[in-house]
Amino acid sequence: MPAEYPEARGPGDPRPDFLATLPRIARLSAAITRGRLVERAAEEAGLGRDRSAVGVLVTLRTADKPLRIGEIADRMQVVGPHITRQVQILEKRGLVRRIPDPHDARARLIEPTDTGTEAVNRYLTFLFGWFTDALADWPRQDRDDLVRLLARFADDVTTRLAQLGDEET
């Protein structure tokens, strides 16, 4: 066990602080996943209720560059054919377009259209506004710490999960 967690005894003795937090994390996950927040944000942005299509747009927005289908799938942790279908739907709606890959003439990259960028920005603005309101009573330092620690947590967990996957191959 790492020295900074001396109270952790092993697999048969879970950390009491993590154990006490687990139900809250589960409730939060369920509330966000099953709740109407994501749907309302998508509706407000004019994106409909297709969470997967919204996920593609958010992935492209956070990448801040055009991506191949496989890169989108990797970032979303889904299979390529699923993303291909979503991209086709988004293309028909005029929210994304395919462009040539400057490094490989055979390949295409996916990028949002101006309409797609505006829609995903409205979506994110709605979500961020909602979370900002939820945290309005928190002191500024607590909000800043939450953002910093969530980013660190996501990075560290993702790195550890990737190492776990490497060990299995």
Exposed (0-12), middle (13-18) or buried (19+): which is 147, by Cβ within 10 Å? exposed
Give the three-state DSSP class for 67.
strand
Q: Where in the chain are the domains? A: 16-134
Q: Which pLDDT score, from 0 to 100, does residue 1 have?
A: 45
Q: Which pLDDT score, from 0 to 100, does residue 156 have?
A: 93
Six token digits for residue 164? 């776990």
State which H helix or E strand residue 4 sits in.
none
Q: What is the pTM for the complete model shown? A: 0.77
168 pLDDT more than 50: yes
Which neighbouring-strand residues pair with 100?
A: 108
Q: Which residues contact 67 (CB under 8 A, 6 or more apart)?
A: 59, 60, 75, 109, 110, 111
The more confidently predicted of residues 105 and 60 is 60
Q: What is the pLDDT of residues 108-160, one digit of tens each?
A: 999 999 999 999 999 999 999 999 999 999 999 999 999 999 999 999 998 89
Rounded Cα gap, residues 57 and 140, in angstroms: 30
Which fold is adopted by the domain 16-134? Arc Repressor Mutant, subunit A (1.10.10)
Q: Which residues contact 61 (CB under 8 A, 6 or more apart)?
A: 112, 117, 120, 121, 124
Six token digits for residue 58? 């958010």
Q: Which pLDDT score, from 0 to 100, does residue 31 have?
A: 82
Mean pLDDT of 30-34: 79
Q: What is the pLDDT of residues 41-74, one digit of tens each?
A: 888 888 887 777 899 999 999 998 999 999 999 9
The more confidently predicted of residues 168 and 56 is 56
